[in-house]
Chain A
Amino acid sequence: MKLYPIWLISLAWLLVVGCRQIYEAPVPYTGPDIPGAGKFTTSIRQSMEGVYSVTDGSDRFGDQMVVKWTYLREGNDTTYYLSMFAGTDATYFSLAGQPQVDSLALAGYWRKLSNTETGLAEFAVQMKHNGQLQNYAGRLATGDTLVISGLYNDDKAKPTRRLTLTYNRPLNPEPFAILAHRSGGRTSDLLPSSENSVEIIKLASRLGATGIEIDVRYTKDGVPILYHDNNLNLRLIQKNGLNGPIEDYTYKQLTNLVRLINGEKIPTLEEALEAVVVNTPLSFVWLDTKYIGPMAPIQAIQRKYRERAAQLGRNVQIVIGIPSTEALASYEALADKTNTPILSELDTAITRTTLNSPIWAPRWTLGPQIDEVRAMQKEGRTVFVWTLDEPQFIREFINESRFDGILSNYSTLVAYHHYTKQ
């Protein structure tokens, strides 16, 4: 057999493998988001939340949208954000009030998480009174309807295309946990912040999340940090010549030498929980156990931040995930298991008898498991399902199953289907 064709194929293979396209979706909006509510008083914000029908722009964003407010606290400042969620392509809008304008004006950006489409958007909040559009001042008479009308465009282009939303009904009030995977979404979702960073924790509620899941590992010198993969790699960090297990590096080395893909520092678990408790309205944190080692340091941090949340008057659940028999062994080795909420990803028997876990979290690929879910809920347990991203299955799970929450990379889509459920 002649060997030169093999070399030809090998060369072609190298060329082919080297031709991978890099996708990007940079946020076109440059702000600034000015702290304070401006003209958007509490009553105006509350009255705006709901399910809206989309008239102009439905070809791009579907025929209805969810409108919901959230906030971010930094020191004594609170910035309010209006999020809008569409049912197509996991779309979200992140908008902030424009206090310099003498009306209820909003500006920001939109993004489709399943692809790279993004753009600028600006809106005004009005009301339809006797068939006429008027500025909204916070009072609605019987028969009046809120209308959010504005413009959007693609990428950095000045918004010129019409998008009009008309209030249809209130949000579905049923309690439901919308849990954002890796504190907001994967790096491959091309979000403006890296997965497992403080910055994406601060973004999570704008993506519709009511809680987050974060991945915990130890550094070489035993500092619990957030990082998903086994190794330092170019999927998650900027090029710096370092590689190998993250456990081979001290916290100081990681802080000084490593930046996440969007430039952020790898956060400690304490920094992450501080951000959740102090800066965000998030009410649930799932600490995914990616480490092999003692659980006691994680337990101590969990207790510290549960107390800190209570001191601040916040109801934040912080639970340690038990995904494997190794994690189960670490949990069982704890000297004192009181005041240590956990979440079991193991089977129902271990969840009930060995762990007596208040939360059970099976994989979504097992289906709705309606009988098992009902039985667990009857025993007073909460049941979440993970990690569900498939758009139609998100809708099916919300409408047809009985889970108490969904962990997803597309919290925007979970929010859309949950709040529009009738």
Chain B
Amino acid sequence: MAQTRPTQRRRFLGLGRSREEVMQRREKREKPEQPCIYFPQAPQPGEWRRSVGLVFTATPPEITEEVRVSVPAIDLNLQRGLTKNLYVVGRLQTQFIQNSLNLGLRYAMPLSEKWFVSAGYDINGWMGVLKIRDVFDAQAYGVSNYPNVSVGYRLTRTLQLMARTEAIFDFYYHSQVGSLSVDYHRPQLSGVAFAFALEQPFYKKQHVTLGIRAAYSRFNWQFWSLYETFDRPLFYPQLFFGFIL
């Protein structure tokens, strides 16, 4: 016992390691051990990351009343490292007749070997077109912004967890039915969202993301055609799943 104590103390303080060992540990901390999309760690400069999956959004009862459905959308993510800490993110969610595109920048940095953090700003544009005989002759588009902060925790070498908080700012909304159209230019804080995701190996070399997002907002682009008019945040729970390619 008496012999091991000094060694443990030196290791704790980061002393007693060779330069190579220190460099290896730093590289390990900065370079992802496994592919990730949501985990707040920047790709290497010039490196691409991509994922494909589905996101399911449950309809709020205030809007769809007794009809409760979980609406699926195809979810594509694309990211590219710009510098050691800075990367650009893109996300396309599509239901073909309505689509949402996010473009943003993230700055990520490790706090320790296990803890990571990032801050980002995403700009979101969405649009939808509905032309159904005797029911709809409508289209709409809009712009929202999502400033966000994420915290990541690497639980094991293969399992990493992420928690994210987003503010949702609505900037612009345009809607048209037949020949009539309306515009809302007023920027407003529409709500907030909290997401929690895990990323881990799935099969052979495949990795997956599985997560939930709870948004409390005055508007949700997926439900533009229901013309919700409540000036109070409604709850939109989402479940997302993706394969990291």
Contacts and interface: CB of A to CB of B under 8 A. Distances in A.
Nearest to B196: A12
A347 B137 CA distance: 14
Nearest to B63: A188
Interface in B129-148: 130, 134-138
Contacts of A235: 61, 65-66
A114 B230 contact: yes
Contact of B235 (A20, A366, A401): A20
Which of B177, B178, B210, B211 has most chain A Cβ within 10 Å?
B177
Contacts of A297: none
Contact of A390 (B62, B227, B235): B227
B212 A367 contact: no
B111 to A, nearest CB: 22
Given A20-B235, A23-B232, A362-B134, A367 B177 contact: yes
B66 A13 contact: no
Interface in A361-376: 362-370
B185 to A, nearest CB: 12
Interface string B177-202: 11110101000000000001010111
Interface size class of A (residues with CB under 8 A): 35 or more
Nearest to A90: B229
B237 A365 contact: no
A165 to B, nearest CB: 23
B77 interface: no
Contacts of A231: 66
B134 A230 contact: no
Nearest to B199: A5
A2 interface: yes
B contact face: mostly helix, strand, loop, or mixed: strand
Nearest to B227: A390
Interface residues of B, number: 41
Interface string B47-66: 00000000000100110011
Contacts of B179: 367-368, 370
A344 B183 CA distance: 32
A393 B182 contact: yes
B58 A17 contact: yes
Nearest to B229: A389
B239 interface: yes
B178 A369 contact: yes
Interface of B: 58, 61-62, 65-66, 130, 134-138, 159, 175, 177-180, 182, 184, 196, 198, 200-203, 208, 210-212, 214, 216, 225, 227, 229-233, 235, 237, 239
Given A16-B237, A231-B66, A390-B175, 20 more contacts: A2-B200, A5-B210, A6-B210, A17-B58, A17-B237, A90-B229, A114-B229, A229-B66, A230-B66, A235-B66, A346-B134, A362-B134, A363-B136, A367-B137, A367-B177, A368-B179, A389-B227, A393-B182, A401-B180, A409-B229
Interface of A: 1-2, 5-6, 8-9, 12-13, 16-17, 19-21, 23, 89-90, 112, 114-116, 186, 188, 228-231, 233, 235, 346-347, 362-370, 389-393, 396-397, 400-401, 409-410
11 contacts: A9-B198, A13-B237, A21-B233, A21-B235, A347-B134, A362-B134, A367-B180, A368-B178, A368-B179, A390-B229, A401-B180
